[in-house]
Structure 1
Amino acid sequence: MLSEPAQFALGFEHRAAISKDDFFVASPNREAVEWIDRWPNWSGSALAVYGSDGCGKTHLGAVFKERAGARPIPKSLKVPPNEMSGAWIADNARKVICRLGEEQMLHIYNSIVESRGSILFIDRDPPVNWDIKLADLSSRIKSMASVGILSPDDDLLGMVLRKLLSDRQLRVSAIVINFLLLRMERSFLAADKLVKNLDRLALAERREITIPLARRVLNSKD
C-alpha cells in the first residue's frame, strides 16, 4: 500500500498520496487504486486507466509516479526505444501516441515489455476506442489490462468537499453541503473550483457560507 490508510465514515480510505495532496478511495476509483497498489505484480507490463475529465485519473498517475519512480513518455523521444527500461507514464495516451507516431510507440511498448518494465496509459476513453491503425500496436493496446474510474458519487464528493473546506478552515453545515452536492458538476476539479469561489465570496463579504451564498456561487459564470 502507498501508506497506511486512515478509516473514515462511509467506508472511505484517506491517504496522503503525493506531497500535500490527499487522495480518497471509494467505490468509483477503488479498482484502479488496487491496480496501482498491486504494482509491480501486474499481470503484464502495461495498464490503462481511463475516465472522464476530473475523475482523478491524473492524480492516480502521480501516485504511480511516486510509487514506481515512473517517468513521463517525453514529447520528443530523446531516449532510444531500446533503452526504455523502468516505469513510464503516457498521460493523455492518444495524444502521446499521435505525437510519437504508432511505429515509434510500438517500439517503445515492446522495449518496455522486453526489459520487464512497466507503462501506465492514462486517457479519457478505454483502449478499445483509441482507433489505433497499426495492427501490431492495436492488438497490444487492446489486450493490456484496463480499468475505468467512474465519476465521483455523492458520498465521495461530499468527503472531498469537506476536506477542501477544512483545509481552508471553513465551517459549512451539512445542509449546505447537501445543497451543493445536488447542484454541482460531478468532478474533483469542479469541487476544488467551487470551494475556492465559496471562500473568496465569503471572505469578501465577511459572512458565513450559507445556502443563499452557495447559490450565488453556483449561478456565477466564474
Structure 2
Amino acid sequence: MRPEQLPLDLPVRNAMNAAGFVVSDSNRDAVAWLDRWPDWPNGILAVYGPPGCGKTHLAHVWQARSTARFLEPSALEHLPLGENLILDGIRLPEEHLFHLINHVRAQQTTLLILDREPPARWAVRLPDLASRLASVPAVAVLPPDDTLLAAVLAKHFVDRQVEVAPEVIAYLVKQIERSFVAAETMARRLDREAMARRAPITIRLARDLLSGEDS
C-alpha cells in the first residue's frame, strides 16, 4: 500500500438519539420497561446484555426523556440531589453502591443500571445490599436478530458517512458473527479498506475482507 493510500482515522459521529434506535424482538422488552418510567419498583431498573448490544444507546434515549445524568465514580462523594442517574457498566465498591441505592430511594428519583449481568447475580458480601439488588427488576437485551443486525450495520455506516447498498448489508448479516461488536468492527474495517482502495463498499470488497484475500 502506497503512503498516499493510507486511510485516516476520521472522527465518527455516533447517532445516539431515538431516531437512530431500532426496536426488534431482541430489545423490545427493555424498551417496554423504559417506557414504564417512572413507574419502576423502588425507582431502579437494570438493563443487561453483551457488550455493544445497544444498552448505552437505550440509556441515551431514556436520558432525553428523564434528563438523567451518567454517573462517574468521582461524583459518588457528592451525589446530585433530585436527579435521575445512569450507572453504565461501572461496578462500584459495595459500600458506595449501597449508599447510591439508598440515596435514590431517599430522593425519590430513579436509577438505570447497565451491565453485562443482572444485579441479582453480582457477587456481593453485604447482606443488605444483596437483598436490594435481588429486588431490582432486570431486563435483558438479547443478541440481535437479522433485522436488528442489519439496522446496526447500516447505522455504523451512516455514522461514518458512508453509503452502502442494501444488498451489501444483507450479505454481511449472513456472514459476520451475530454480535454488535462484530458489526461495528466490520463497518470500521470496510470503511478503511474502501478508503485505501479508493473504491466503494461492495459485496466483492466484503468477501475479500472476510476471506483474507487482497484483490
Task: Please say whether Structure 1 and Structure 2 have the same fold, judged by a TM-score greater than 0.5.
Answer: yes
**1:74-123 residue CA offsets vs partner (Å, 9 max, x unmatched):** 3132315xx65321111114x2x2xxx31232122112112211111110
**Equivalent residue for 2:152?**
160
Greater than 6 Å deviation, 4+ residue runs = none
**1:100-147 residue CA offsets vs partner (Å, 9 max, x unmatched):** x31232122112112211111110012222111111011111111110
**Further displaced range: 148-157 or 185-194:** 185-194
User: Partners in 2 of 1:173 and 1:74 — Cα distance?
Assistant: 39
Three-state SS of the structure 2 residue aligned to 1:40 is coil
**1:173-201 residue CA offsets vs partner (Å, 9 max, x unmatched):** 52x33331122132334323322322332
Relative to structure 1, is the Cα distance of residues 169 and 105 closer, same or farther in structure 2, using a 3 angstrom cutoff? closer
AA partner of residue 18 (structure 1): N
**Equivalent residue for 2:17?**
18
* Runs of 5+ unmatched residues, structure 1: 1-15
AA partner of residue 165 (structure 2): V
AA partner of residue 193 (structure 1): T
Bigger relative CO (Cα 8 Å, ≥ 6 apart): 2
**1:48-68 residue CA offsets vs partner (Å, 9 max, x unmatched):** 000001111121122222221
**Equivalent residue for 1:105?**
97
**1:136-183 residue CA offsets vs partner (Å, 9 max, x unmatched):** 011111111110000111121112323444563524252x33331122
**Equivalent residue for 1:89?**
86
AA partner of residue 194 (structure 2): A
AA partner of residue 78 (structure 1): E
User: Partners in 2 of 1:207 and 1:123 — Cα distance?
Assistant: 39
How far off its partner does 1:219 sit? 4.4
**Equivalent residue for 2:78?**
79
Three-state SS of the structure 2 residue aligned to 1:160 is helix
**Equivalent residue for 1:28?**
26
**Equivalent residue for 2:9?**
none
More strand, by proportion: 1
**Equivalent residue for 2:49?**
51
User: Partners in 2 of 1:107 and 1:45 — Cα distance?
Assistant: 15
Relative to structure 1, is the Cα distance of residues 209 and 36 closer, same or farther in structure 2, using a 3 angstrom cutoff? same
User: Partners in 1 of 2:158 and 2:50 — Cα distance?
Assistant: 26
Across the aligned residues of Structure 1 and Structure 2, the Cα RMSD in angstroms comes to: 2.4
Relative to structure 1, is the Cα distance of residues 105 and 171 closer, same or farther in structure 2, using a 3 angstrom cutoff? closer
Relative to structure 1, is the Cα distance of residues 207 and 74 closer, same or farther in structure 2, using a 3 angstrom cutoff? closer
Count of residue pairs brought into register by the alignment: 196
Contact 1:84–1:108 (8 Å) recurs in 2: no
**Further displaced range: 188-197 or 51-60:** 188-197
